[in-house]
Amino acid sequence: MTNAMLELDTDHKKMVEEFGAKYLDKEKSPDYYTFQNELLYAHIDFDKFLSAVKSRKKCAIVSGFNPSGTIHIGHKSVFDTNLYFQEKHNCDVYIPLSDDESYVARKVESQEEALKNAYRLAKEILAYGYNPKKTHFIIDQIYTNIYNLAFKYSRQITLSTTKAVYGYKDETNIGLTFYPSVQAAHVTLPQYKGYAYTLVPIGIDEYNHLRIARDVAAKFNITKPAVVLSRFMPGLDGAKMSSSKPQTAIFLKDGINDIQKKIDRAMSGGRDTLAEHKKYGGNPEKDMSYIYLKSYFLAAKQAKKIANNYKSGKMLSSEMKELLFKHVKKYLQNFQKRYSKITDKKVEKCFLRNEIK
């Protein structure tokens, strides 16, 4: 196991021990790879949400994205889970593209840049495979009604709470200290549009937003959003994946030749020499190509088979990398083909607009 994975496992345990989350039971979870491969590992009230969708109640997913970045393979488990519930259970998916947070946090230089990024990211997300008729983008510069709800919530969120939860200091700009109220508005918005339950798939770095949103929901007598927690996937170098280290992450708009180079340089679990590898075998749990294959692309039996071949020395590191490249190439080509067909008009139809009353 890589150092990044050990560190993240510690963070996962902390979520369960300190914040009241519960580990997901695979037998009671959906028969879908993100649950069965434990890419989603813990939850709060997911059982209630699952019961609601099985009872055919009107349910929604809220899954935000900061438009200062772009989609990479580490987002796959959350994106695929959203699609699973959209396709299997007819759930609408609400996607806040936090153009305002991107600006006040100085991730972009201007609001115009943040808006441009939000448009581009909305196009990427539709190209991922989301149903335009059941996908709703919340861009706060466009759907400014969100601030009415955020302002309503702000009476119940104190400055001391935001300081304690986020570590904000006196010198933190007031845009950031107000933003937890906006996040709570994003998360709970479906409750005001007739949905019975909402599910929010997140990484552990986003849980603070949900702590506040769930507290606010209770104070306003609406159903608390359910949460499923997603594991972070390490980068190709075995360290934490980051958009700021593009050489270690597979982005969905990368060129095929770039992907080949990245995978060729990925951390291997093989031996120092070919002779040693054939004699002693490799360690698949330290091999990032195997970890990606097992997590995202292979059925359990197939993953076990290649792991055994790798351990015995029958399968080489170069062959493991080539197998990953084959799967990633197909995955990216399909995405990029869909992306080329998404028009601005199609994207704009998915934007929430201010209601005229």
Per-residue model confidence as pLDDT tens digits over 211-236: 899 999 999 999 999 999 998 889 99
Residues 6+ apart with CB under 8 A from 257: none
Domain ranges of the chain: 3-236, 246-338
Counted residue by residue, the chain has a size of 357
Whether domain 246-338 has CATH 1.20.120.80: the reply is: no
Other Cβ atoms less than 10 A from the Cβ of 106: the count is 11
pLDDT for residue 10 is more than 70: no
Task: Give the pLDDT confidence score for residue 7 in this predicted structure.
Answer: 47
For 62-100, the pLDDT digits (tens) are: 999 888 778 999 999 999 999 999 999 999 999 999 999
- Give the architecture (CATH level 2) of 3-236: 3-Layer(aba) Sandwich (3.40)
pTM exceeding the 0.85 threshold for the entire prediction: yes
Answer positive or negative: Cα dihedral of 9, 12, 18, 20. negative
Please answer whether residues 98 and 65 qualify as being in contact, where contact means their C-beta atoms are separated by less than 8 angstroms: yes
